[in-house]
Structure 1
């Protein structure tokens, strides 16, 4: 079987389905394939800040997501080695609040939305097995359907996009260069729990105590997603988690965060599903485009899940890549890979790199200098500085804005008093 498309997108979760949607809106013929079927879950922090909800509203799917029994929340409680920041995320794009929707809902809604667009052909259960080149340019994919036996299917396109995740095969076959690699020092585990009670209005909770981290998001179906991190080189904790990950999470929260209310509240929680984990990963950034190929989402750049930016980056990147491609006639793509690639790389790095480096800071097991903890305490003592800090997560504010706020607090300037 053979057919030619403008773009083939390999991977149909958040990044891939969003790209297929935007490309179809630009009038392109798109083949969207995924080795899995929907609905299905995947390991993820699930969180969407208000700027991401703005992007989803632009795709026409926000109302469907709000109807998934997933609560909107506005508040964050952060305890960073004893320094507490507690406040509300600022509004962005006319939206107040965040949504931590389960991937089994989010991915299916985005997939169905893409599939419904004129010009999109979608195939579930299709595993890509190879990329084919002609004169050094990738022009085709080969693959098999789950229910197709040994039959090989071939599809051609002007461009093949790898939206196939952190361990992207498209990236490997295309030979994309890795520009940055910062290995994590931590193992990470995530679980869904019920019967967990929060203090005050629903919110995200983040805790760091020396070499251990814990994070809690309210998610769909009256559940919470809980993530914990401990050092990869801690053999005692590694054995505990390998033998019984549920008990490992309970013990880590008890021993690491017993000085907070989290430990007591988590003792009453019940695990709803199997615990999932990763024993180490790289925070990395790759070259995003080459001769007949491009990368998107975690295939382009993976960053520490503690900062919760992965879904935003996938959504933003899908829109950006579609816009860049639409600026060049499809008939000219073959002669424009280098200029398009430079524009795409520059645009993605300019927008996302600062949060990537924030993630890299979390991923290293190094004691926080006293001045950093003092700065967190200072920020937490001031409402305006707290809002600026939280505004970095949804791009209302930038890291340099937080530096200005810290400078203001150190100088004793009151923002309510006009300065001459």
Structure 2
């Protein structure tokens, strides 16, 4: 009998298992993959997420994979009213001077996280397929599945946590309710390039197109391109040509660097990018990571979301299993904390994921940032999860940025 079974051992599951094991709980960690292995990913770990790795004692392991720190953000925009301009900066430091972004390939990151869970005392079973979530009435009691040998295995636990992605078997089995949903607005592809000089996180945004590029392991560049969801089949039909043509039009300097370099991997991507919250707990079960909450990857925050929610959930579960709080009350608090932190940015991302032009009021704010380095850095703190969305986009702060005049409700909301 385990205290907790965690289904899924990547960016949400392994940290949850690690933190619970560090608190003395008996944890079984399961994954259908073996590690190291690849998976679709936005790669980027924001300043807030990188700071968590540092607090967990794992950042040096990321650095040892030859993954460079990024300490500069470049945002390139073009508006009809305000023209084309570039904002350059970086968020203010956190945690006694820490300020860096890392973007490791998942081949390295997930192995580091799984190893850390095992070192903390969790039991890891790789290549394990969960076939069924066991229930006694509405109470989840464990799982049934099989490992590489095909033999049926049944394990029981006080709590089963689904960290197994947006198509989570745990979420489906308990029929976890969805809310605050929005359809997929984009499709996206990425790949890796060698010989492409890059030392910054580069964002290029135009109506109906977004490009993101940054350095990753082994002196390679990761380049992402997003189009509207309805264009998926057209772009997929001639992927490389359309990918490079988008770079040429929107980010010609990056396009030149890519053409002068060498593509070293296949194109990877998806058009299945829904936006939703799920109720993340119930009798004997909980959800974390993409299983409990998913949003368009346009701002590349999925890994940071997983880290944050893993810590929130692990704290709640520890409080419940240690009888500091009733478990249901602790898990209810987890959902409230998660939603309070992420909802404002989630709503902004759902609006932006249509790739429609930015609202005029938001364009006005970005244009007003020019020449105000402190405000630029704080704006980048919003997308790096170190400055609360509501704090930056408060009426008082926007009035200060804009300098004079009154704000409409739309301006304050966006």
* TM-score normalised by the chain length of structure 1: 0.90
Of the three residues 245, 248, 256, the one matched with 1:254 is: 248
Secondary structure, counterpart of 1:19 in structure 2: helix
SS in 2 for 1:90: coil
Paired residues of 2:206 and 2:357 also in contact (CA < 8 A): no
- Partner SS, residue 93 of structure 2: coil
Q: Which residue of structure 2 lines up, in the alignment, with residue 154 of structure 1?
A: 154
**More deviation in 72-81 or 336-345?**
336-345
**Deviations for 1:94-118, whole angstroms, at most 9, x for unmatched residues?**
3121111111111001101111223
- Three-state SS of the structure 1 residue aligned to 2:116 is helix
Match 2:359 to one of 352, 358, 369: 369
Q: Distance in 1 between matches of 2:324 and 2:2?
A: 15
Matched residues in 1 for 2:289 and 2:129: separation? 19
How far apart are the structure 1 equivalents of 2:162 and 2:2? 15
Q: Is 1:305 equivalent to 2:297 in the alignment?
A: yes
In structure 2, what is the equivalent of residue 109 of structure 1?
112
Q: What's the counterpart of residue 15 of structure 2?
A: 18
Report the number of matched residues. 397
Q: Deviations over 1:287-329 (max 9, x none)?
A: 0100111000111111121212211111111111111122224
Query: After superposition, what is the alpha-carbon deviation per residue over 1:394-418, rounded to whole angstroms, capped at 9, x for unaligned?
Result: 33322344334431132269xxxxx
Q: How big is the shift at 1:330?
A: 5.4
Alignment partner, residue 412 of structure 2:
none
| Corresponding position: 1:238 with 2:233 | yes
**3-state SS in 1 of match to 2:217:** coil
Q: Which runs of 4+ in 1 moved over 6 A?
A: none
Decide whether the 8 Å contact of 1:183 with 1:280 is kept in 2.
no
| Aligned counterpart, 1:62 | 59
**How is 1:50-89 mapped onto 2 (pairs within 5 angstroms)?**
50-81=47-78, 82-89=84-91
What CA distance in whole angstroms lies between the structure 1 residues aligned with 2:47 and 2:324?
37
1:34 maps onto 2:31 in alignment: yes
Aligned to 2:137: 135
Distance in 1 (CA, whole Å) between partners of 2:324 and 2:73 is 47
CA contact (8 A) 1:289 1:337 kept: no
Tell me what 1:194 maps to: 194
Once the two structures are overlaid, the 10-residue window that deviates more, 356-365 or 160-169, is 356-365
Q: 1:329, 1:300 → 2: CA distance?
A: 21
Q: Deviations along 1:57-113, whole A, 9 cap, x unmatched?
A: 222211111111011111111112334211122211131211111111110011011
- Contact 1:290–1:337 (CA under 8 A) maintained in structure 2: no
Q: Distance in 1 between matches of 2:377 and 2:329?
A: 39
Match of 1:6 in 2: 3
Tell me the distance in 1 between the aligned counterparts of 2:346 and 2:302: 10
- What's the offset of the Cα at 1:196? 1.2
Shift of 1:380: 3.0
CA deviation digits over 1:7-28, x for unaligned, max 9?
Answer: 0000001111101111011111
TM-score by length of 2: 0.91
Report the aligned-residue RMSD: 2.0
Distance 2:344 2:182 in 1: 14
1:100 aligns with 2:90: no
Once the two structures are TM-superposed, the CA of residue 332 in structure 1 deviates from its matched residue by 9.5
**Runs of at least 5 residues in structure 2 that lack an aligned partner in the other structure:** 79-83, 406-414
Distance 1:329 1:290 in 2: 15
Query: Which residue of 1 is the match for residue 338 of structure 2?
Result: 348
